[in-house]
Amino acid sequence: MLETRLDTGERRVYGPEHNAFRESVRKLFDRELIPNLDRFEEEGLVSRDFWRACGDNGLLCPTVPEEYGGLGLDFGYNAVVNEELAYAGSSAGITLQSDIVADYILSYGSEEQKQKYLPKMISGELITAIAMTEPGAGSDLQGVRTTAKRDGNHYVISGSKTYITNGQNADLIIVVAKTDPDKGAKGTSLILVEAGTEGFARGRNLDKIGQNSADTSELFFEDVRVPMTNCLGEENKGFIYLMSQLPQERLGIAISAQAGAQRAFDEAVKFVKERKAFGKTVFDFQNTKFQLATMKTELQVGWAQIDWGLKRLLEGKLTAAEASAAKLWHTEMQGRVVDEALQLHGGAGYMNEYPIARMWRDARVQRIYGGTSEIMREVISRTI
């Protein structure tokens, strides 16, 4: 069990049902996640037992309607899971499944695809990934080189992907591929590929700076044949679909960044109040108090922004620029807070036995995936 809890007492974006759900999330994490955090880090992925436990307790894809086995709830429940997962210090890929992949299938999938995949995603039996990034195409999705060529009533997929979250565990992958390379971005489609399909192969579990328990892989597609019915939505509409889903994805990252920053601050406060130096606690030094005051101020502003953004999303009003601004500000703020929290730990902060070390490592990629800070500024600037 965590020694500290995320304080949500003064927030108004959540109702009593959300708060009750949060308690069930905490109980599950205390039982299934916290005792296994170190093991997941060492093994480089989160066990399927944890996925199934999340499914059994209603944590996976809570927004999916009841007709597909879901709870039919609002995104606020996803946000609760995001906050508690980040505060726990875990990089498990369950949020990718719930916040991103489930919505792609729900929004663009055929009835057959929804019936086939969503119930197993909700139960945790099926783990999913979305394969966008390539060795030569990161933020620039128009530069995707993976192709899906028609051959009768099949697509033949060829190409490679990298930095794919859930790559080692994934049973189903949404592959971003060019179905009409001559059309550039307008020739992009989303194709469903099951892991056992001939020609599909996983590369190594990539060796990262942080987020070690988030399995992140190379994926290879060598003349992978799938039925044309595996196209998610309409052919050549993939780029539009990707752009439509980005606001929710980016707000989700902002939420995780905010909760991660809060945990780092709480760890720093705890440490400096216990640590003695020159006959008094480190907390008693004016510099420590001023640094903590600055961090607390940023966190206060951050929570107000998160709740505003979440309310906008629930009302269907959150714009791409607003979500980009949230991701930009919160991930950059997380970087500042986590770094300062480590500094306040002194030499202990550089030791892996202290949680702050993992938080510092894990936070760095937040400014990169889901759209780099530079891309966020580009998106925002277009609205000025």
pLDDT tier for residue 142 given thresholds of 50, 70 and 90: confident
Question: pLDDT tens across 68-108, in order?
Answer: 999 999 999 999 999 999 999 999 999 999 999 999 999 99
Give me the percent of the chain exceeding a pLDDT of 90: 95
Question: pLDDT tens across 334-362, in order?
Answer: 999 999 999 999 999 999 999 999 999 99
The pTM of this model reads 0.96
Question: pLDDT tens across 156-169, in order?
Answer: 999 999 999 999 99
- Contact in structure between 232 and 107 (CB atoms under 8 Å): no
The amino acid occupying position 8 is T
Torsion of CA 125, 196, 240, 159, to 10 degrees: 150
**What pLDDT shows up at residue 140?**
75
Give the C-alpha separation, 111 to 5, whole Å.
41
pLDDT tier for residue 9 given thresholds of 50, 70 and 90: confident
**What pLDDT shows up at residue 141?**
74
Question: pLDDT tens across 44-62, in order?
Answer: 999 999 999 999 999 999 9
Give the C-alpha separation, 245 to 182, whole Å.
24
Question: pLDDT tens across 227-273, in order?
Answer: 999 999 999 999 999 999 999 999 999 999 999 999 999 999 999 99
**pLDDT over 90 at 185, yes or no:** no
**What pLDDT shows up at residue 138?**
76
pLDDT tier for residue 1 given thresholds of 50, 70 and 90: confident
* Mean pLDDT for the stretch of residues 324-335: 98
Catalytic residue annotation: 249
**Angle value at C-alpha 315, between 311 and 319, nearest 5 degrees:** 85
**Strand (E) positions, 273-335?**
276-277, 280-281
- The domains of the chain, with CATH numbers, are 16-126 (1.10.540.10), 129-235 (2.40.110.10), 240-381 (1.20.140.10)
Give the C-alpha separation, 51 to 121, whole Å.
10
Give the C-alpha separation, 170 to 216, whole Å.
10
Residues 6+ apart with CB under 8 A from 27: none
- Given the structure tokens 């606690």, which residue do they identify? 281
Phi and psi (nearest 5°) for 353? Answer: -70, -15
* Mean pLDDT for the stretch of residues 185-213: 96
Give the C-alpha separation, 56 to 123, whole Å.
6
